[in-house]
Structure formats: C-alpha cells, structure tokens
Amino acid sequence: MHWNTARWAAIALGATFALGATAQEIVLNPTPDIKVNWKKTVIVSKSTPTLQVVVNPMILRGSKMHDGTFKALKELGADYVRYVPWLPYPRQAVAELDEPKDGKTSWDFQYIDPTLEDFMKATEGHSVCINFSTIPAWMWKTKTPVVYPQDPNQVFWKYTQGSEMRDPTYKEAADYFARLLSWYEKGGFTDEYGKWHESGHHYKFAYWEVLNEIDLEHHWKPEEYTKFYDAVVTEMHKVDPDLKFMAISLAHPSSNPEMFEYFLNPANHKPGIPIDFITYHFYANHTPHEGINEWQYSFFNQAAGFLNTVRYVEAIRKRLNPSVRTDLNELGVILREDTYENAHDGSNGKPRYVGNPEPEGYFPLAGAMYAHLFIELSRMGIDVIGESQLVGYPSQFPSVTMIDHTNSKPNARYWVLKLLHDNFKMGDKLFSTSGTGSDISAQGYITTEGTKKLLLVNRRGFAQEAKVPADFANGNVSYVAISTGDNAPASEKLQGTTIHLQPFETAVITVK
C-alpha cells in the first residue's frame, strides 16, 4: 500500500467526514484503472513550473516572514520567477512618486532596492521576469492629484486612477521605465534635468513584463496598450538590447479576445518591435454559500473553463504570431474572505474586517488544482506555468499564499510546486494516459534521464484508490496531502499496483 493501512483508514475516515463526503460517494466512484501507452507520445514538454513574488511589507527586511520567504524561494530554484512591485504600496513600487518640477526630481529607491536585492540573491543563477507594474500617478489625467500614504507599509488601493495619460505619445512613461532598467542594470541613470543618479547595481534581467492586468488597472484598450508597449520597448532596448519582453497580462482573458487579436498582429506594431511572451491569469473563486465540500467542484469546473480559454487564445497566437511564447504567470484561488477583507480594510473610517482562516484541506486543494492545470497546460505546450503567489497574509490575499503567515513555513501549495519542479522539466516526454475517471488527473512521463514517472492528482475531498500500470509496481511515491501539513513531500514505497490517495493528494510515482 501507499502508506500504512491503519494510518490510511484513520486519515481517510477523518478527512472524508470533515470535508462532507459520504460513504456512498466513495462506493459509487469506480476504482480508476490508469493506463499509459508508452508507444504514443503526446508532446515533448516545453513547460516550466514556477511562481510569482509580489512585493508587500511581509517580505521586507526585518519582517517576521522575510527569512522564511527568501529561504523557500532560494531552495525552490525555479526559473522565470516573476517579481512584481505593485500598486497597494506606492513607496515600495514607484520610484518617482512626484512630478519633476523646478529642476528637482523625487527619485527614491530606499524602500524598493532592499527587497529587489534580496530577490535577486535568492534567484541567483535562474531567470527572472521583472514587472514594475505601477506607473507614477502624476503621469495620468485625474480630477485631483493622487495623494499617497507617506508610510511605505500603509496599504492604499486607490493609487491607479485615471484612464488617459497626459503624454499621448507615451514617451514620458517609456523614459521612466528605461531609467528604472538603467538603475538596475547600468549602475544608475541620468534624470530629467541631466543629473546622474548612482545605484551601483549591475544586474542582468532576462525578461521584463510591461504592466499588469491591463484590463483592471487603467482599463487599457488594445490600440492604446499596443502603442504604449512599442514606446516602452523602444526606450528600454536602448538600455539593454538583449532584454526580452512579456506583454498583455490580462486578469480576465476570456472577456478580452480583441486584445489578443490586435496585439498579436505584427501589422499593429512598429517595425522591429519584438513580442517574446504573452501573459494572462486565472483565479478560481466561489459563491458566498459554498464551503470546501463545494469548492472542490467549483474550482476544477472553473479550471476546465479556463483551459478552454487557453485553447482559444492559443489558436489566435498560432494564427497571428506563432513564434510568441505563453507564460500563464498567475494561477491560483482567491477566497471570498480575501476580497471582502480588502474591501473593508478600515480606510473609510468603518471597522476593519478580518477574514476567517482557511479551512483544513484548503491549501492541498488549491495545490491539487495547480497540479491539475500543470498536467493539462503541459499537454497544450504552454511554456511557463506560474503559481501565484509566494507571500500573502490578512489584508493581502492570505488564500493565495505559499508561505504560512502564522509560522513562515511553506504550505502545501509551495510543496506541490516544488514536487513538480523537482520531478518534471522541459524535454520530458508525455505519453497518452487514460482510465483516470472523473475525479483523478494523471499523466505518464519519461524524463530526460530516462526515468518513468506518473503524476497523480486526487481532485476530491475523499480518499480514493487507483490502479496504476504494472510499470509502477513497487515504485517510490512522493506526495503532498492534508497529512503532510506544512512539511516537505512525504515518501513511501508503493506495494503492488494499487495506490491509495488521500483527499486532495498530489503524488509522483517514480521507477527506474
């Protein structure tokens, strides 16, 4: 057996009743007989599992989550890690908060540099994607000037106001981003009045993503964003001709097909402007009346809808610009508690709402959904599959976190990502896999080293058995489940060809 019989029975029974499943549900669910056709290659993997790091006060030096966060990031060793200084904390995200005037500028990196330095140290030797996603508010036409908090740790959700930039050529904003790049790659920059600002930084970034969730932040139209992208790329390439770019970053890709149609058409760009990656996002959610027993169905049903969106976008990409690659760099779940908490943060003078903690089993469930997406997106040939996000906590999307804000330890979502990262890489062969039934996801692999592996995901909140191919009899099993808690994946020896999967378990069986 996958684990000790008595232990299996106790955990399965407890988790089953805790999550609301009944004995009848398990009896009526036939035991899947998983088959792998080793003569039928589905695809040679192009996919890399990774994550994003969003800047917030809990990853600053001296915060209680700082050390555990960057230790976990370094030990993961992922490529294509996305780094996002973001709008809720303007002083940590915007380097020029006030308009240049009377020969003076407001360039200030004191709250920006330390975290980026720690990030670059933790990802040393691996590719990163930088996204300073927030444009200075003074560059936008607004009814009144945007007044931001002086406290760098004060959350402020209203910084990104306006839908029209004061410079219709976008040269002003493009110069801002070029100076940011020069600060980090060229040791400094010359400001608007000809003064040199020394940084001492000489990093080399692999990728730069131009803005974030453009359908939500300033509500960009396809024509405007494409013109803006061209202006930014033109100026940043003067600083670093080797820099590659990611673009679009839609929050709701299924609602914006016209953005892909317009942006991916080379005829809509200036000659010579490269498009290296398109990006977009997916977060599952739920209705107010659902609990975790319903979430297991809602999340995976929504994931199926997102996969249909990916197929549609891929058809557009392949038709218009097939050399462009795809990075799905925000994949996760946002519970309604998080959304309600952000909307009632106390900034309007009313009492601040503090959300309820995530129920037992939630993080393994969210990790299982990511593992399921990894299987399906790998089959489609998606290049980068990014889990969101490394650090969240009350007031900053705690349901999306991969580090537990109460103990600073990686949770099940992190360990699922690490399990995938450590076992599967570009160049692995995916083979036709069948017989999974409706409640288990499975994929057979032969890695670049010639090792056979089977990735299994229990999508349900009750324990399940599955028969695996004879190739995997007595194989080594590494798994993440409710029972592993905030610990690294557990390991067991499979006895025979029947695996017992815990609720929301993600498992990898390996045979030499």
Domain at 105, CATH number:
3.20.20.80
Range of lowest pLDDT (333-347, 406-420, 463-477): 333-347
Cβ burial of 360 (10 Å; 0-12, 13-18, 19+) is: middle
Q: Report the distance separating Cα 109 and Cα 107, nearest Å.
A: 7
Same domain, 225 and 347: yes
pTM: 0.94
DSSP 25-43: HHHHSPPPB-EEEEEEEEE
Contact in structure between 327 and 282 (CB atoms under 8 Å): no
Q: Report the distance separating Cα 198 and Cα 309, nearest Å.
A: 45
Calculate mean pLDDT across residues 104-109: 98
Calculate mean pLDDT across residues 395-416: 96
Domain boundary among 423, 445, 479: 423
Instruction: Find the Cα–Cα–Cα–Cα dihedral 463, 465, 466, 468, rounded to 10°.
Output: 110
Token readout for 381 is: 């040939």
For residue 414, which of 47, 38, 50, 6 has the smallest C-alpha distance?
50
Domain boundary among 378, 398, 423: 423
For residue 74, which of 360, 378, 414, 461 has the smallest C-alpha distance?
414
Asked if the peptide bond before residue 52 counts as cis, ω within 30 degrees of 0, the response is no
Instruction: Compute the residue count for the chain.
Output: 512
Is pLDDT above 90 for 19? no
Q: Report the distance separating Cα 226 and Cα 270, nearest Å.
A: 9
| Residue 96: other Cβ atoms inside 10 A | 19
Same domain, 251 and 323: yes
Calculate mean pLDDT across residues 61-85: 98
Give per-residue pLDDT as tens, 265-292: 999 999 999 999 999 999 999 999 999 9
Same domain, 452 and 502: yes
Contact in structure between 311 and 382 (CB atoms under 8 Å): no
Q: How confident is the model at residue 1 (pLDDT cuts 50, 70, 90)?
A: very low
Q: Report the distance separating Cα 462 and Cα 446, nearest Å.
A: 29
How many domains, the chain?
Answer: 2
Q: How confident is the model at residue 6 (pLDDT cuts 50, 70, 90)?
A: very low
Domain boundary among 403, 423, 443: 423
- Cα Rg of the chain (Å, integer): 24
Give per-residue pLDDT as tens, 439-488: 999 999 999 999 999 999 999 999 999 999 999 999 999 999 999 999 99
Give per-residue pLDDT as tens, 207-232: 999 999 999 999 999 999 999 999 99
Give per-residue pLDDT as tens, 434-453: 999 889 999 999 999 999 99
- pLDDT value of residue 28: 56
Amino acid at 323: S
Same domain, 25 and 57: no
For residue 290, which of 308, 281, 304, 302 has the smallest C-alpha distance?
302
Higher pLDDT, 353 or 288: 288
Calculate mean pLDDT across residues 64-84: 98
In what helix (H) or strand (E) does residue 507 lie, and over which residues does it extend?
A: strand 506-511
- Find where tokens 């996919």 sit: 47
| Residue 494: other Cβ atoms inside 10 A | 23
Q: Report the distance separating Cα 490 and Cα 196, nearest Å.
A: 54
Q: Which residues pair with 277 in a beta bridge?
A: 246, 325
Contact in structure between 330 and 273 (CB atoms under 8 Å): no
Q: At what angle do helices 66-76 and 113-122 cross, to 10 degrees?
A: 40
Same domain, 208 and 281: yes
Name the 3-class secondary structure at 330: strand
Instruction: Find the Cα–Cα–Cα–Cα dihedral 420, 426, 428, 429, rounded to 10°.
Output: 110
Same domain, 454 and 409: no
- β-pair type (498-501, 464-467): antiparallel
| Residue 289: other Cβ atoms inside 10 A | 6
Q: How confident is the model at residue 351 (pLDDT cuts 50, 70, 90)?
A: confident
In what helix (H) or strand (E) does residue 456 lie, and over which residues does it extend?
A: strand 452-458
- CATH of residue 507: 2.60.40.1180
- pLDDT value of residue 5: 41
- pLDDT value of residue 14: 44
Calculate mean pLDDT across residues 151-158: 94
Contact in structure between 402 and 17 (CB atoms under 8 Å): no
DSSP 175-214: HHHHHHHHHHHSSEEE-TTS-EEE-------SEEE--S-T
Q: At what angle do helices 66-76 and 412-423 cross, to 10 degrees?
A: 20
Same domain, 27 and 83: no
Same domain, 26 and 93: no
Same domain, 325 and 282: yes
Token readout for 455 is: 């990735």
Q: Output the CA angle 457-462-468, nearest 5 degrees.
A: 45
Same domain, 38 and 53: no
Token readout for 269 is: 């760009």
Q: What helix, strand, coil percent values describe the chain, rounded to 5?
A: 35, 20, 45
Q: Report the distance separating Cα 20 and Cα 408, nearest Å.
A: 30
Average pLDDT, the chain: 93
Same domain, 267 and 348: yes
- pLDDT value of residue 291: 94
The rounded Cα 490 to chain-centroid distance in angstroms is 24
Contact in structure between 258 and 288 (CB atoms under 8 Å): no
Residue 384's domain comprises 48-423
Contact in structure between 297 and 247 (CB atoms under 8 Å): no
Same domain, 23 and 82: no
